[in-house]
Chains A and B, each alone.
Chain A
Amino acid sequence: MARLIHPDRALSTNPLKVSAPLGAAMAYLGIEGAIPLFHGAQGCTAFAMVHMVRHFKEAIPLQTTAMNEVSAILGGGEQIEEAIENLRKRANPKFIGIASTALVETRGEDVAGELREMLSRRTDFADTAVVYAATPDFVGGLEDGWARAVEAIVDALAVPCARREGQVNLLPGAHMTPADVEELAGLIRAFGLDPVILPDLSLSLDGHLADDWRGHSLGGTRLSDIATMAGSIATLAIGDAMRPAAMKLQALGVPAHVVPSVTGLAAVDGLVSLLMTLSGADVPATVRRDRARLADAMLDAHFQIGGLKVALGADPDLGFALGSTLAAMGAELTVVTTTGGAAAERIPADQVIVGDLGDLERAAEAAGARLLLTHSHGRMMAARLHLPHVRAGFPVFDRLGAQDVCRTGYRGTRAFLYEVANAVLSHPHRPAPEDFGAARISSEFDHAASSPSHH
């Protein structure tokens, strides 16, 4: 169990954390026909949208209630109503997910109450599901905002439902890419189970070219499927942050299984055992083969990863998933995470700093780290410390295909181990006499270059 360190300083240098409303917006984008709506000032939305556009390389239909000075003081209820009205006219969304921001939360607005009142009055809004999550910027980060949004969706849209044999709920964490979700869904289906995935970025932000232009998400979890979640035989919540949402479904009669990580041999073994139990099915041959291939990849990669000093900067669930995988291969971790909590404490390191990339840079230099594992903002630190940099988390804006990176399951773990080992190999260290304190050879022995008349 790691000791959590909270650095005693006022200045945050090079933030690691991404805001909670952005996490909520990302989760909402995994619902079919969705438009996320920030209840706040215009800028909150602009920054978040640009951030997501840079990461996903997609148009992101993030909208704002555009609070002005008057509504900031007198209350923004009307702004929400107006925003919903306009969005319905312009894009006809099936779903609007509202995330509050620091501005309205600081004001202390009762958004939920106002929303209830407004929706009961505006019956013409009935064919658009509207969900609200309180996600002030000053509490938590990306994983927290995402988790609050999923809780809010379950609260609002999951209703009591008759038992549906073979159906399981899958609640992916914010740290899972569309490719991760797809991989996990495939694994669940391989056992003959039928997953309802909430939210499902693998259908909306997987990077596909649509047939026409829509002002809302291009795919995702169907609202009709969410309505059946209470009938599932189990809920698989991936990552500790998803525990509250799973517990809400448990309250509706669906047993909750919180799987802290689905990366790494032991973690995936755990998941496979669970799927065996839930399905009663035999383990498919492809899964057995994938495990054998991962085991072989571990053997090949452990020469690079064993003893490797890794500087890891990530949200807690991502940090735990990747960190525990590398530690199980013999890597030594220097860790900075964004928020404290159970997952952060479980990261296999003596101590975990709850801080920023500035903290990570100092700690990495002191520990003699040889590899950096964090999102794209770590690139300047990687350049300064001459470290290979494996990009993980959000945002990844200086590499293409962030949505395609899969580090989940036996196959994704295999790819991740190769990725890390290759990053090490791509920075080969060629030994020099100075490394050993040896003097240079006398230049007397050197071949004197001939006149430059060649070529």
Chain B
Amino acid sequence: MSDALKQKIQNAFQEPGCATNAAKPEAERKKGCAKQLTPGAAAGGCAFDGAMIALQPITDVAHVVHAPLACWGNGWDNRGSASSGSELYRKGFTTDLTELDIVMGNGEKKLYRAIREVIAQEDPAAVFVYATCVTALIGDDIGAVCKAAAERFGRPVIPVNVPGYVGSKNLGNKLGAEAMLDHVVGTMEPAEPGLTDINIIGDFNLSGELWQIKPLLDRLGIRILGSLSGDARYAQVAMMHRARVTMLVCSHAFIAIARKLQDRYGIPYFEGSFYGISDTSAALRTMCAMLVDRGAPPDLLDRCEALIADEEARTRAALAPLRPKVQGRRVLLYTGGHKTWSVVSALQELGVEVVGTSMRKATDGDRDRVVEIMGDDTHMFENMAPKEMYRMLREARADVLMSGGRSQFVALKARVPWIDVNQEKHEPYAGYAGMVELVRAIDREMNNPMWAELRAPAPWEGLAPDTPAAPVLLSAVPGSKADFEDC
């Protein structure tokens, strides 16, 4: 690992903007916030994957992965970030290094040619070049190649030096965003910077979730100037330094970039979420207040309140007929971070009983919120091994599992409904409209008549004995190192 990269990683672990990090003693802080990965018990993505998650949604960029085939041949075309413009970001570009390339040291030359070809072929706004384990190991200097190519072809060519082995997906998120600060932000100027221009960081417009929020912003006259990286154009990353306020969505990983935008360009940031009614309203309020603080017309506050009142009433009216269909149902939530509580509060509003919520990747703040919302911590648990979860679901201690894609089959094989709340999901659940969609999805999933048919005994089986499951203390479920869900 190069010294520069080592330094970058070390810096990434020291984030004054991060409450968790700041609370640690000096020595602990150095170790970083990502847990050491356990051989034989790890399933999450690597740092390269994390960088890709953070940056690939930038739509008009050619994302070129400098690697043998596995990194991108196996990884491309698997996420649901939506674009309202270019579809270029969805194409999979890789240098597909061969044994000969590696042995003969042809990596850099091949990369340079690949950059030339992708510019000729696709006319991208910019080219992002991603280093990976092998190309970092053989010492390809992608920074130098990018610099040479940018000069030769007159196009931004940005190195993203985040090989997989440096750490977890979360670290990759940080380092990917960091590359934008180093090379992109501040390189272009908006034609008419406005007093209500904002950045949104940490939303990837999955299934169009950003567009569930955008109409609200449209009505308030707020413009998304910068985006990292939902439905973003390259120019929107390059102009981020001119926004008035940054909203940081769902994320500890991106605090550093928000904080650095504040330090370098004086743009204040706040953390907020668009999951759930109350969170959405709170995010809008904070956003408007901060914009007004920075000189936006003060009537924005009144208009924001009017909008919130209007939308909340409309949403509650839309939810009312759905409430009886989901009320009293028991949900097991296996997600992470802020979703541990933002989804909980949303569900509780509907009379859904949350029997457990995992505390993976949750901060002390997140824990406090769960206790605040649920009364105590008996419903919290850490990672749960698939076998444990299967047993729990099979014994019908929950009516539905809400989680990410990797635990889907634990639920399904236990004949229990499952709802995707993580990044690969196909339904947008953001904002007021998204809340209604989420409840519709819960209703559709839980009340599907298929479940009864599926659980009925086969003709050659006797009737299953109907034994009520004993209540289980979730906080007593032993934590598992095998975090098979990675959100």
Residues in chain A within 8 A of chain B (CB atoms):
265-266, 269-270, 272-273, 276, 282-283, 288, 291, 295, 298-300, 302, 306-307, 327-330, 430-433, 435-442, 444-447, 449-450, 454-455
CB < 8 Å A-B pair total: 115
Q: A438-B211, A441-B233 are in contact. Are A328 and B449 (CB under 8 A)?
A: yes
Q: Answer whether A455 and B121 are a contact pair too, CB < 8 Å, given A431-B207, A447-B60.
A: yes
Q: Could you say which residues of chain B place their CB within 8 Å of the CB of A266?
A: 453, 456
Query: Chain A contacts of B223 at CB under 8 A?
Result: 442
The 6 closest A-B pairs by CB, nearest first: A431-B208, A447-B125, A438-B214, A330-B448, A445-B233, A436-B211
Which of B43-51, B81-89, B160-168 lies on the face that meets chain A?
Answer: B81-89
Contact B208 A432 (CB under 8 A): yes
Kindly state the separation between the CA atoms of A97 and B86 in the bound complex, as whole angstroms: 64
B444 and A330 within 8 A (CB) = yes
Chain A residues with CB under 8 Å of B456's CB are: 266, 269
In the docked arrangement, what's the CA distance between A455 and B122, Å?
9
Q: Which of B393-409 contact A (CB under 8 A)?
A: none
**Contact status A433-B444, CB under 8 Å:** no
| Contact between chains at A306 and B448 (CB < 8 Å) | yes
* Chain A residue with the shortest CB-CB distance to B85: A446
Closest to A443 in B: B85
Q: How far is the CB of A53 from chain B (nearest CB, A)?
A: 40
| Residues of chain B from 78 to 109 with CB closer than 8 A to chain A in the complex | 82, 84-86
Q: List 18 A-B contacts (CB under 8 A).
A: A272-B460, A283-B459, A298-B450, A298-B453, A328-B450, A328-B453, A329-B450, A431-B207, A431-B211, A431-B428, A432-B82, A433-B214, A435-B211, A440-B84, A445-B235, A446-B233, A447-B233, A455-B120
User: A residues within 8 A CB of B124?
Assistant: 447
Q: What residues of chain A lie closer than 8 Å to B447, measured between beta carbons?
A: 330
Q: Report whether B433 and A302 are in contact in the complex, using a CB–CB cutoff of 8 Å.
A: no
A445 to B58, CA, bound (A): 12
Q: CB of B234 within 8 A of chain A? A: yes
Measured CB to CB, the closest approach of chain A to B422, in angstroms, equals 15
Whether the Cβ atoms of A447 and B208 lie closer than 8 Å is: no
B84 surroundings in chain A (CB, below 8 A): 432-433, 440-441
- Chain A min CB distance to B193 (Å): 11
- Closest beta carbon of chain B to A282's beta carbon, Å: 8
Task: Return chain A residues, CB-CB under 8 Å to B123.
Answer: 447, 449-450, 454
Tell me whether B345 is interfacial, beta carbon within 8 Å: no
In the assembled complex, the CB of A273 is this many whole angstroms from the nearest CB of chain B, namely 4
Contact A439 B459, beta carbon cutoff 8 Å: no
CB distance from A205 to the nearest CB of B (A): 32
Assess whether A306 is in contact with B450, with CB atoms less than 8 Å apart: yes
The listed residue (B120, B190, B208) touching A454 by CB distance below 8 A is: B120
Which residue on chain A has the smallest CB distance to residue B88? Answer: A447
- Name the B residues within 8 Å of A447 (CB-CB): 60, 86, 123-125, 233-235
Beyond the given pairs A283-B460, A300-B412, A439-B214, 8 more chain A to chain B contacts, judged by CB atoms under 8 angstroms and listed by A's residue number, are: A283-B459, A299-B413, A330-B448, A430-B82, A431-B211, A436-B428, A445-B236, A447-B125
Asked if residues B453 and A265 are in contact (CB atoms below 8 Å), the reply is yes
CA gap between A446 and B85 in the complex, in Å = 8
For the complex, what is the distance from the CA of A436 to the CA of B231, rounded to whole Å? 14
Whether A288 pairs with B218 at a CB distance below 8 angstroms is no
Chain B, Cβ-Cβ closest to A270: B459
* CB closest chain-A residue, reference B231: A441
B191 within 8 A of A: yes
In the complex, the chain B residue whose C-beta lies closest to that of A271 is B459
Report the Cα distance A298→B138, complex, angstroms: 48
A433 CB to nearest B CB, Å: 5
Highest count of chain B CB atoms <10 Å: which of A291, A450, A455: A450
B448 near A329 with CB under 8 A, answer yes
Question: In the complex the two chains form, what is the Cα distance from A307 to B450 in whole Å?
Answer: 11
Q: How far is the CB of A424 from chain B (nearest CB, A)?
A: 11
- Given A295-B454, A328-B453, A450-B123, A272:B459 Cβ within 8 A: yes
Whether A269 contacts B459 by the Cβ 8 Å rule is yes
Residues of A within 8 A of B470 (CB): none
Cβ of A327: which chain B residues have Cβ within 8 Å of it?
Answer: 449
**A432 and B60 alpha carbons, distance in the complex (Å):** 16
In the complex, what distance in Å separates the CA atom of A430 from the CA atom of B231? Answer: 13
Complex formed: what's the CA distance from A52 to B82 in Å?
46
Q: Is B315 an interface residue (CB 8 A)?
A: no
By a CB distance below 8 angstroms, the chain A residues around B448 are 302, 306-307, 329-330
Q: How far is the CA of A283 from the CA of B459 in the complex (A)?
A: 9
**Interface: B27 (CB within 8 A):** no
CB distance from A284 to the nearest CB of B (A): 10
Query: Which residues of the partner chain B approach A450 to less than 8 Å between Cβ atoms?
Result: 123
**B459 engages A273 (CB within 8 Å):** yes
Cα–Cα distance between A328 and B454 once the two chains are bound (Å)? 10
Q: Which chain B positions have C-beta within 8 A of A307?
A: 444, 448
